[in-house]
């Protein structure tokens, strides 16, 4: 009976205490919610930064036809080295390159050599005044001493310049590929149109890299 009477007379918690407990509970809940929101907010910039870095636009290719392009430092973009027996194919290649949007300037010996000038002078001048040299290596090319001479002049002009010397094999076994060019990849002509496109792309890449290098030096 005594414990029952004590239970009946036990004071109830005051409204103030209830209010404090309720306030504390709400505060804890708000604080927890706030810290969670803050954590999410603080992580957002990292995600956004990573996402934005993944969406960077690619570096635009330099305009090789711009008026200040180093392309214009030489008279020709491409010098075609070939034998007289391959003139017809070479004329098709020149027509293709000169008809491209870049309007490549090609040196074709039978068309562009100055009348009355020495052959050696013309060959050396064409090599020195051209950015790239396409060598159409056929059985006739391998038999022609002038073709070999022009090949040696090109290699002497820029032996380590990637993309400047462009060997193109046609009707020649790989084992007969000139030893002087063994450190340079070649284009094997099976489909004429595909090979012409590969030559064009190689010249474009070289001229673009030439423009980038020139811009870096100026900076």
**For the domain with range 75-216, which CATH number is right: 3.90.550.10, 3.40.50.10140, 3.40.630.10, 1.10.357.10?**
3.40.50.10140
Interatomic CA distance for residues 166 and 168, integer angstroms: 6
Interatomic CA distance for residues 155 and 161, integer angstroms: 9
Q: Taking Cα atoms as reference points, which of 97, 120, 94 lies closest to residue 108?
A: 94
What string of pLDDT tens digits covers the 219 residues of the chain?
555 555 555 555 444 444 444 444 444 444 444 444 444 444 333 433 333 333 433 457 889 999 999 999 999 999 999 999 999 999 999 999 999 999 999 999 888 888 888 888 888 899 999 999 999 999 999 999 989 998 999 999 877 667 899 999 999 998 999 999 988 999 999 999 999 999 999 999 999 999 998 887 776
Please check whether residue 169 is in contact with residue 137, taking contact to mean a CB–CB distance below 8 angstroms.
Answer: yes
Q: In what order do the strands lie in the sheet with 165-169?
A: 106-107, 76-81, 130-137, 165-169, 187-188
Helix axes 192-218, 87-98, angle to 10 degrees: 50
Domain coordinates in residue numbering, the chain: 75-216
- pLDDT value of position 161: 67
Residues in the chain: 219
Residue 200 Cα to chain centre, angstroms: 15
- pLDDT value of position 59: 54
Residue 74 Cα to chain centre, angstroms: 23
Distances 116 to 110, 113, 121, 122, 127 between C-alpha atoms, Å: 12, 9, 11, 10, 19
Residues 6+ apart with CB under 8 A from 140: 83, 84, 85, 86
Place of tokens 């993944």: 54
Burial 145-156 (b: 16+ CB within 10 A, else e): eebbebbebbbe
Phi, psi angle pair for 81, to nearest 5°: -100, 120
For residue 198, what is the DSSP state? Answer: H
């Amino acid at each position: 009976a005594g414990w029952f009477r004590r239970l009946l007379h036990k004071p109830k918690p005051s409204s103030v205490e209830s209010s404090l407990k309720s306030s504390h509970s709400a505060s804890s809940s708000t604080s927890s919610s706030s810290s969670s929101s803050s954590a999410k907010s603080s992580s957002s910039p990292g995600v956004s930064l990573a996402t934005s870095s993944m969406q960077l636009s690619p570096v635009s290719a330099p305009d090789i036809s711009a008026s200040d392009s180093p392309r214009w430092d030489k008279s020709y973009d491409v010098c075609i080295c070939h034998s007289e027996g391959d003139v017809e194919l070479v004329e098709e290649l020149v027509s293709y390159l000169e008809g491209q949007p870049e309007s490549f300037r090609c040196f074709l010996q039978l068309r562009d050599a100055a009348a009355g000038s020495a052959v050696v002078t013309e060959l050396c001048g064409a090599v020195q005044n051209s950015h790239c040299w396409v060598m159409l290596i056929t059985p006739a090319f391998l038999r022609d001493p002038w073709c070999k001479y022009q090949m040696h002049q090109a290699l002497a002009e820029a032996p380590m310049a990637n993309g400047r010397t462009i060997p193109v094999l046609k009707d020649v076994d790989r084992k007969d590929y000139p030893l002087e060019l063994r450190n340079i990849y070649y284009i094997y002509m099976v489909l004429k149109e595909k090979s012409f496109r590969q030559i064009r792309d190689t010249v474009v890449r070289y001229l673009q890299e030439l423009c980038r290098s020139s811009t870096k030096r100026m900076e």
